[in-house]
Structures are given as structure tokens and as C-alpha cells.
Amino acid sequence: PLVTTKEMFKKAYEGGYAVGAFNVNNMEIVQAITEAAKEENAPVILQVSAGARKYANHTYLVKMVEAAVQETGLPIVLHLDHGDSFELCKSCVDGGFTSVMIDGSHLDFEDNIALAKKVADYAHDRGVVVEAELGRLAGIEDAVNVSDADAAFTDPAEVEEFVTRTGVDSLAIAIGTSHGAFKFKGEPKLRFDILEEVARRLPGFPIVLHGASSVNQADVATINANGGDMAGAQGVPEDMLRQAASMAVCKINIDSDLRLAFTAALRKHLFAHPNHFDPRQYLGDSRAAVKEAVRHKIVDVLGCNGK
Ligand code: G3H
Ligand code: 13P
Ligand code: ZN
Ligand code: NA
């Protein structure tokens, strides 16, 4: 069935692992993720961004995820990723999602609280869970000095008030990750001290890590060797994700790594077979590559296989 994150996060918190939240944009990606989750008997969250909804259409995405539930028999969460307004969240709550994120991280504290509470009240009345964000991910890597960077990290002193006043079910925090395939200019570094302090202030409360792709260097090399140019791409080292998963982090968001696996396989296929023009051939390779990338995350990084 389609389920909420409630049970999943409780088990993940207690078990010291994290559930993967993978972005979906088309049928091949939905199939790749859910087949890997099925084979590894893993809980899984499929998340849809506003951009995905614009690209693939709300109804197509919901129906594909429902098809995955039917085909795999797995409990699957259908989550809105980075909802930017009450109206978008409402439309996903009304339209079959079991979880929504309201991302008011760019707002000031009081406005973020007011918006998150409005979404949580609406969603909870309808059995849907809500993720919110405190601190800002974007731009951290561009910060020119330490005080700029500090301003963007989540302030642990704010989390209890935020969670109590909004009633949200999980909280995304900024500890140095960022979206996309170019995360760090120098040495990767995450503020585990902030995560620890947040967990100390919110015992048992599920924390979410965005921008958590590792940017597999083998995929980057394949892309670059087959006509691409992704020089300098760098992600979060897997050891750091394993550490986060063992702590209060219950949901780890991964999109870029799936895009890289998809694109590497696609480039490789088309360069190796200049006469192929059947999408089932090259998209079949991409789907298989995404599936193996997801399996690797589940088994070797998140630790949610067999859960
Ligand atoms: O957080 C961003 C996700 O990777 C979704 O990206 O907005 O391009 O679909 P998108
Ligand atoms: P990545 O770009 O690191 O995959 O992050 C995805 C994400 O946070 C989706 O919300
Ligand atoms: Zn994100
Ligand atoms: Na965890």
C-alpha cells in the first residue's frame, strides 16, 4: 500500500539506519527504484518535485507509483519534495500523496513556522505527514567566509520551538550538504556537531538530510569518456552518510546520483551503438544502472535492506 513515514521513521530511528528518498521523474526511474527496494526488502520513499510534476504530470506520477505498489507489494511513501506553497502542498495532499515537504527555509523564522503549521494542520486532518526545513542548504558552498556559512547552517537553539509550534513530523536540517553534482570546492565537511545537538534537543525525532548524493566518480568518468563534461563534480562521501544514518537522520534524499547513473549508461550505450534508435535499448540500460545504484545505496550506505 501507499503509507506514511510514521512507522518507517520510528523503526529507522530505533534501528540506527535511514530510509532512502529517491526522486522520480519517469517510468524507468520508478521501476528501477522499486525493483531494487523489492529485491532488497527495503522501505522506500518516492519523491516528486514541483519540476517533476511539471515534467511528467501529477496524475501520471501518482498512477505510476500506484502501479509500483501493485507490482511489488511494498509499502511505499509518495512524498512531495520541496513544496514551496500551501497550495502546492494542498494539491498533493488532496491528490493522493502520503507525505509532503513544505520548504519555508528561505523565509524568516516566524513566517517559516506559520506556513509549516498551516500545511501540517491541513495535512494531518487528512492523514498525511509533513516535513519542514530549518536552515538553508543552497549557497553554503559559495559562502565566502565562515560567518556567511554559519548563518546558513541550522541553529540547534531553534529546533524545539519550531517543531512544537508547527507540529511537523520530520525536520530537514542544513549541516553542509547541498543539491546537485558540485557540492564541495575543497574537502567535503559536514557539521555533525549540529546534527548531534539537534538530536539531543529533539530526542526520537526524525531528521532529514537533503543534498546527500555521493556523486559516484565512476559514473562521472563514464560520462566524461563518452562525450560529457562534468569535471569537478563531487558529492558527500559515503562514510559520512553511513554516520548520519546511524544517528537521528531517518531520511536521506538522493536525486543527483540517480541522474548520473542514468546519464552514464545512456551515453555509454549510444556511443557504443551509433546505429541504435530504439529507446527501449538505451533506456533499458539506464534503468538497469539506476537500479544497481539504488541497490548500492540501500545495502551499502543506508542500511535499510531487510527492514
Ligand atoms: O532538491 C532538488 C531535487 O533534486 C529535485 O530537483 O527540482 O530539478 O526536480 P528538480
Ligand atoms: P542531491 O542533489 O544530492 O541528490 O539531493 C537531492 C535532494 O535533496 C532532493 O530533495
Ligand atoms: Zn532537497
Ligand atoms: Na538513523
Q: Give the start-end residues of each E strand in 167-300.
A: 170-173, 207-209, 249-254
First-to-last CA distance in the chain?
A: 16
Residue 79 lies in a domain: yes
Show the cell assigned to 18.
535511514
| 125 occurs within a structural domain | yes
**280 to each of 179, 283, 285, 295, how far by Cα in Å?**
30, 5, 8, 22
Answer yes or no: are the C-beta atoms of 127 and 107 closer than 8 Å: no
Q: Which CATH number do you get for residue 57?
A: 3.20.20.70
Average pLDDT over every residue of 209-220: 98
pLDDT at 66: 98
Mutate to test the pocket of ligand 1, among 26, 49, 80 (most ligand atoms within 8 A of CB): 49
**pLDDT, averaged across the chain:** 95
Pocket of ligand 2 (CB under 6 A): 23, 81-82, 179-180, 210-213, 253-257
Q: Is the CB of 305 under 6 A from ligand 1?
A: no
**Has residue 41 got a pLDDT over 70?**
yes
Q: Does the annotation place 106 within a ligand binding site?
A: no
Residue 141 falls inside a structural domain: yes
- pLDDT for 292: 99
Distance CA 264, CA 258 (A): 10
ipTM greater than cut 0.95: yes
Dump pLDDT digits (tens) for 162-197. Answer: 999 999 999 999 999 999 999 988 899 999 999 999
* Inside any domain, residue 115: yes
Nearest to 307 by CA among 1, 37, 67: 37
Q: What is the pTM of this model?
A: 0.97
- The pLDDT of residue 137 is 85
Does the residue 307 lie in any domain? no
- Window from 5-19, 68-82, 176-190 with minimum mean pLDDT: 176-190
Task: Give a yes or no: residue 165 inside a domain.
Answer: yes
Neighbouring residues of 40: CB distance < 8 A, sequence distance ≥ 6: 295, 298, 299, 305, 306
Task: Verify whether ligand 1 is closer than 6 Å to residue 79 (CB atom).
Answer: no
- Listed in sequence order, the DSSP H helices in the chain are 6-15, 27-39, 50-56, 58-72, 86-94, 109-125, 146-152, 159-166, 192-201, 217-225, 238-246, 256-272, 279-296
At residue 147, the pLDDT reads: 55
Task: Give per-residue pLDDT as tens, 126-159.
Answer: 999 999 999 998 554 454 445 555 569 999 999 9
Closest C-alpha to ligand 1, atom 4: 255
Q: Computed over its alpha carbons, how large is the radius of gyration of the chain?
A: 19
Q: Which has the higher per-residue pLDDT, 87 or 150?
A: 87
Spatial distance between the Cα atoms of 249 and 206, rounded to a whole number of angstroms = 6
Tell me whether residue 179 is annotated as binding.
Answer: yes
User: Residues with catalytic annotation?
Assistant: 81
Residue 1 lies in a domain: no
* 192, part of any domain: yes
Looking at residue 148, its pLDDT comes to: 56
Q: What is the pLDDT of residues 42-61, one digit of tens each?
A: 999 999 999 999 999 999 99
- The count of structural domains within the chain is 1
Going by alpha carbons, the residue nearest to atom 1 of ligand 2 is 211
pLDDT of residue 143: 47
Integer Cα distance of 57 and 65 in angstroms: 13
CB of 213 closer than 6 angstroms to any ligand 1 atom: no
Residue of 26, 81, 106 best suited for mutating to test ligand 1, as the one with most atoms within 8 Å of CB: 81
Of 142, 5, 179, nearest to 80 by C-alpha is: 5
**For residue 223, what are the domain limits?**
6-302
State the closest ligand 2 atom to the C-alpha of 215, by its place in the atom list counted from 1.
Answer: 3
